[in-house]
Copies of this chain bind each other. A is one copy, B any other.
Amino acid sequence: MGAVNTRGAAPKQDRSRATRQRLLESAVTCLAELGWSGSTVTVVAEHAGVSRGAAQHHFPTREDLFTAAVEYVAEERSRALRTLPTPPDTPAAVRQIVALFTGPLFRAALQLWVAASNEPQLGPRVTDLETRIGRETHRMAVELLGADESAPGVRETVQGLLDMARGLGLANLLRDDSARRERVVAQWARIVRDVLGR
């Protein structure tokens, strides 16, 4: 892009960046609410309040838009992970970890996983990103729990907890599952605390 060397260029770039950002946010919202088949470029552009032409300037094809949205979701989930406050105890850490899997970012990611399992253009990209996010989430969970992975079984305990959090997110897809989830999390927080010994 080169240096900013004319008056007005920086605001123009800012506007372009803001439009791109709005399109990505709308792509995620549409994906979470309408699924892959309902999320066309036209629908996303309309949701973002951007003309179809402007949307196509940023993302020439639907695959370009949604692979960029995949990366955006990944970055947002990473950011959400990095900004978690230090939990006072194991139950609080378990609640934080589960909460990562019940918001709109997880909903969008879920739609992407299922779309990726059927759409060859999305598949490898989504799988690679999931591998990266999976590692990052695991590392963060170990830190939040203060778990010592050199002890036998601890790594698998944390992994199973993350699998449970993912399953709880899935159970929340069709209805509000929060009351049941709270009871399950309270019990499993006790179990994890006893297993990890803190």
* Number of copies of chain A assembled together: 2
Q: Does A83 contact B (CB under 8 A)?
A: no
Interface of A is mostly: helix
Does residue A103 face the partner (Cβ distance < 8 Å to B)?
Answer: no
A177: nearest chain-B partner, CB-CB: B163
Q: How far is the CA of A156 from the CA of B163 in the complex (A)?
A: 16
Which B residues are in CB contact (< 8 Å) with A37?
36-37, 118
Q: Contacts of A115 on B, CB cut-off 8 Å?
A: 35
Q: Judge if A87 is at the interface, Cβ distance under 8 Å.
A: no
A:138-192 near B, CB below 8 Å: 153, 156-157, 159-160, 162-171, 173-175, 180, 183-188, 190-191
- Which residues does chain B contribute within 8 Å of A173, judged by CB atoms? 113-114, 117
Any chain B CB within 8 A of the CB of A111? yes
For A186, what are the chain B residues with a Cβ–Cβ distance below 8 Å?
156
Q: Judging by beta carbons under 8 Å apart, are A191 and B113 in contact?
A: no
CB within 8 Å for A160 and B174 given contacts A34-B118, A114-B35, A167-B167: no
Q: Is the beta-carbon distance between A174 and B36 smaller than 8 angstroms? A: no
Q: How far is the CB of A195 from chain B (nearest CB, A)?
A: 6
Identify the A interface with B (CB < 8 A).
Answer: 33-38, 110-111, 113-119, 123, 126-127, 130, 153, 156-157, 159-160, 162-171, 173-175, 180, 183-188, 190-191, 195
